[in-house]
A and B are shown apart, each in its own frame.
Chain A
Amino acid sequence: MANRLTSLLPGHMRKRVDPILETVAIMREVKNPAAVASMVPSMLRGNVLQLGKRQTSTEMVSGHAAYFDWEYKSDFPEMRELYRRAKQNQWDADIALDWSRDVDPMNPERPLLPPDFFGDVILRQGTVQLSALEERKFNYHIASWMLSNFLHGEQGALYAAAQVTESVRWMDGKLYGATQVMDEGRHVEAFHRYIDEKLNRLYVINDNLFTIIDALMTDSRWDMKFLGMQIMVEGLALGAFGVMYRITGEPFLKDMLRYIIQDEARHVHYGVLALREHFSKHLSDRERREREDWAFEIALLMRNRFMAHEVYEEWFEGILPRSEWNNLVLQSPGMREFRSVMFSRLIPNLRYIGLLSDRIAPHYEEVGLVKYIAGRNASELTGDQMLHELDHAKSEYDDVNAVLEQMASGHGEDHSADDHSAAAE
């Protein structure tokens, strides 16, 4: 109904109204409004006012306390070990990566994303039909959009890691946190250099990503920053980098992601270690429930809300209704695999830190996410293992392609966006 109404509006007004309606739709999906109440100001800034798309720089104010420990106790051996490992595994993007290698983002022999990332049937036989050249350009733009948002996410991770380093209570955690700050700085450097020198195309930040980063940066509770950044956003990053690592045909990008994934595995591990201890020993039941609900709502937001609207506006605004685009993105094999890998990492971590009680598990089951619970959590997984798994994983992307081929030949079955039955592992 709303779609039909907005389609009557002139283009420039629709551009303003659509994001607001989508924000309302997000809020209506929320099962526990109290759990996301703290995010409302961020949603206003990110989704409604779209400040990330207007400002060239943004200030996010945080009320967290820097926690000093004058006794310098070595108080968390596993974190100390992680710190030691992090120090040893530092790398220099200037030296580790061969920046003299040429990257042609439109080279069909080394595509940034597989040509049917968005589904053979959808882009070639649906409402929208692109020529071979347009397809290659579209592929380039989608990849640039993803990598640009990786970069924006890494900038968020850099500052959040710095805040977490200030506010965490364990001295060993602070020392480790310092290495993560360095890691994130290096990721910003590497992603930016790749986007700037190799792709020469930087997209503005996605509104939903802005909202999540804003919510984390401005929340004054250190464990919420931790949960949001180390578990949710880093989990999202691992999923996204992992998929891209596996499917990209561009060797330089693959090399770069290999280095970055090794760092990211440490980051999530850090969050898992810290929060398991904190949630199990230092929180009341009510506080733990609040975090459990909050994590669920964020998981849902992350599952359905990264729609590449920026690319839509460039390519299809006025040609294709926004709702149809959303559908296309949700059903695309690439994005399905992205969600699959992301949740196969995230859900076991939430279980491990105690945010997947019997109370909330049915909700995850309802949205088709509970099947990931049996996976390994970050404390059981090193960066090397993760890369090995990615290198050898059977890809949902392959499965979905097979289904799409069947559909194209008229023998297929319909796969809804929520069907994750072909898991990555």
Chain B
Amino acid sequence: MRFNSMLPPSLRVIPNATLRLIGDLRDATLPRREIARSRHTDAELQAIRDAAAAHRADGRHRAALILKVVAVRRETRNAVVLDFEAADGAAVAFRAGQFFTLRADIDGREIRRSYSVCSDPASGRLAVCVKRVSGGLMSNWLNDNAAPGMLLSADGPQGRFGAELRADDERELILIAGGSGITPLLSMLKTALGQGRRDVHLIYANRGVRSVIFKGELDELAARHSRLRVTHVIERPSKRWSGRVGRLTSESLRELLPGSADRDMYVCGPEGMMESVRLHGERSGWEPSSLHFEHFVDQSSTVTERTPGVELQPRRVVMRASGRSFDVQPGETLLEAGLRAGAPMQFSCTMGGCASCRVSVKSGTFHMPEPHCLTGEEMAAGDCLACIAQPLSDLELNC
């Protein structure tokens, strides 16, 4: 090597090549390595599998799954419970409180809607409850067509609701559900009864007795577990109803939830009900960090209904980077129009909940119904959720 460095660079090629050849010939005397090697023992492979399952349950994984419907149970006149398994037979891990986004081709369009899981993760079952929504494409289609053997693509599990739930927490757990908002809470309730020692109080508001989803299952659970208390609140009950009557308001909540505010409260239901809970929490001194809300979005609004204040004329949208443009018809969201025009737009939940469809708006104004998942800063920067936004003027997008 020292000799080599004394040569001018152009002449170093020959000794370098010679040295390499000598090295190669020397290595040619090495014994051949094993042709194939297996690095892991069975125990190590199991540990790798467990770690991957934990990673998935963490909600970090977002690949499309293929789910097969294995059972369909009509829960009420307007709601079905669908039991799924992964089409490839693999276990589907999730955490209580999470949701999956189901995809289906309906009338030639890919529709995606998110549904919270209502089964207990420990049971090995994956079940969601789908309640009919007036004008809802997916919910009505599933209620009418779902049958064992049907395959659906799905993304998930997603969502952070319920992530703070701890098995070793012994304080009473308060769950407040409105209508089909029961689904994630039922999963959490079963988890809490299955693994901890804490008392669970479910307050469950519905319009009529016949629309109470999971009534039989809840009665059965309450009979089996003395730690569980279920309070039904019915707005318009039949004459035979002996339970609590009315809507859930901050006043009625004060009666239902006396005592310490040092408890965790998980809430899922219509926006009005959640506002009442928020108000009650504030007045009764609950720590904001103890109140957990899962937004329950009216999915019919993404189909045909016109948002008040949106003008009745098509708007032009220009995507700056690609130079592509398309028209948004009155009543359409940015995403619906973009997909119709074949624009490469990302999306997942289509409910303003996941920000997959976030686009940056350079110029123009738009209407975006609340609630949604954008922060104030993101909105101030001009970000927009294409799945729920409707243009109020022509728009220019930075994509």
Please report A residues at the B interface, Cβ cutoff 8 Å.
44-45, 49-51, 53-56, 61, 63, 84, 88, 94-102, 110, 141, 144-145, 148, 196-197, 200-204, 251-252, 255, 310, 313-314
* Interface: B210 (CB within 8 A): no
Chain B residue nearest in CB terms to A197: B48
Q: What are the residues of chain B within 8 A of A45 when measuring CB–CB?
A: 24
Q: What are the residues of chain A within 8 A of B52 when measuring CB–CB?
A: 99-100, 197
A138 to chain B, nearest CB (A): 13
Residues A98 and B61 in contact in the complex (CB < 8 Å), given A49-B28, A50-B28, A197-B45: yes
Q: What are the residues of chain B within 8 A of A141 when measuring CB–CB?
A: 36
How far does the alpha carbon of A145 sit from the alpha carbon of B39 in the complex, in Å? 15
Residues A95 and B30 in contact in the complex (CB < 8 Å), given A61-B20, A197-B45: no
Q: What are the residues of chain B within 8 A of A100 when measuring CB–CB?
A: 49, 52-53, 55-56, 61, 90-91, 93
How far does the alpha carbon of A252 sit from the alpha carbon of B86 in the complex, in Å? 12
| B32 near A54: Cβ-Cβ < 8 Å | yes
Chain B residue nearest in CB terms to A96: B63
* Interface: B225 (CB within 8 A): no
Chain A CB count within 10 A is highest, among B24, B34, B35, B321, for B35
| B36 near A55: Cβ-Cβ < 8 Å | no
* Interface: B244 (CB within 8 A): no
| B88 near A51: Cβ-Cβ < 8 Å | no
| B39 near A200: Cβ-Cβ < 8 Å | yes
B354 to chain A, nearest CB (A): 14
Given A95-B60, A97-B63, A197-B48, 16 more A-B residue pairs with CB atoms under 8 Å apart are A50-B32, A53-B32, A53-B33, A63-B13, A98-B61, A100-B53, A100-B56, A102-B91, A141-B36, A144-B36, A145-B36, A200-B40, A201-B37, A202-B37, A204-B33, A251-B66
| A203 near B90: Cβ-Cβ < 8 Å | no
B85 to chain A, nearest CB (A): 13
Which of the four size classes fits the interface of chain B? Answer: 35 or more
Please report B residues at the A interface, Cβ cutoff 8 Å.
13, 16, 20, 24-25, 27-28, 30-40, 45, 48-49, 52-53, 55-56, 60-63, 65-66, 86-88, 90-91, 93, 321, 344
Residues A101 and B90 in contact in the complex (CB < 8 Å), given A50-B32, A202-B37: yes
Residues A201 and B36 in contact in the complex (CB < 8 Å), given A101-B88, A102-B49: yes
How far does the alpha carbon of A54 sit from the alpha carbon of B36 in the complex, in Å? 13
Q: What are the residues of chain A within 8 A of B24 when measuring CB–CB?
A: 44-45, 49, 51
How far does the alpha carbon of A255 sit from the alpha carbon of B55 in the complex, in Å? 18
Q: What are the residues of chain A within 8 A of B30 when measuring CB–CB?
A: 54-55
Q: What are the residues of chain A within 8 A of B49 when measuring CB–CB?
A: 100, 102
Q: What are the residues of chain A within 8 A of B39 when measuring CB–CB?
A: 196, 200, 202
| B32 near A310: Cβ-Cβ < 8 Å | no
| A255 near B38: Cβ-Cβ < 8 Å | no
| B35 near A313: Cβ-Cβ < 8 Å | yes
Residues A51 and B28 in contact in the complex (CB < 8 Å), given A200-B38, A204-B33: yes
B240 to chain A, nearest CB (A): 48
How far does the alpha carbon of A61 sit from the alpha carbon of B91 in the complex, in Å? 48
A250 to chain B, nearest CB (A): 9
Q: What are the residues of chain B within 8 A of A310 when measuring CB–CB?
A: 35-36
How far does the alpha carbon of A204 sit from the alpha carbon of B38 in the complex, in Å? 12
Can you list 15 pairs linking A and B with CB atoms under 8 Å apart?
Answer: A51-B28, A54-B32, A55-B30, A94-B60, A99-B52, A100-B90, A144-B36, A200-B38, A201-B36, A201-B37, A203-B36, A204-B34, A204-B36, A251-B87, A255-B63
How far does the alpha carbon of A196 sit from the alpha carbon of B48 in the complex, in Å? 10
How far does the alpha carbon of A179 sit from the alpha carbon of B321 in the complex, in Å? 19
Q: What are the residues of chain B within 8 A of A201 when measuring CB–CB?
A: 36-38
B42 to chain A, nearest CB (A): 9
Chain B residue nearest in CB terms to A52: B33
Chain B residue nearest in CB terms to A218: B20
Q: What are the residues of chain A within 8 A of B48 when measuring CB–CB?
A: 197
Chain A residue nearest in CB terms to B38: A200
Chain B residue nearest in CB terms to A145: B36
Which A-B residue pairs are the 5 nearest by beta carbons? A49-B28, A99-B52, A54-B30, A100-B52, A100-B56
How far does the alpha carbon of A101 sit from the alpha carbon of B48 in the complex, in Å? 11
Q: What are the residues of chain B within 8 A of A203 when measuring CB–CB?
A: 35-36
Q: What are the residues of chain A within 8 A of B45 when measuring CB–CB?
A: 197, 200
Chain A residue nearest in CB terms to B344: A88
B59 to chain A, nearest CB (A): 11
| B35 near A99: Cβ-Cβ < 8 Å | no
Chain A residue nearest in CB terms to B321: A84
| A51 near B36: Cβ-Cβ < 8 Å | no
Partner of A98, one of B13, B28, B35, B63: B63
How far does the alpha carbon of A98 sit from the alpha carbon of B60 in the complex, in Å? 10
B19 to chain A, nearest CB (A): 10
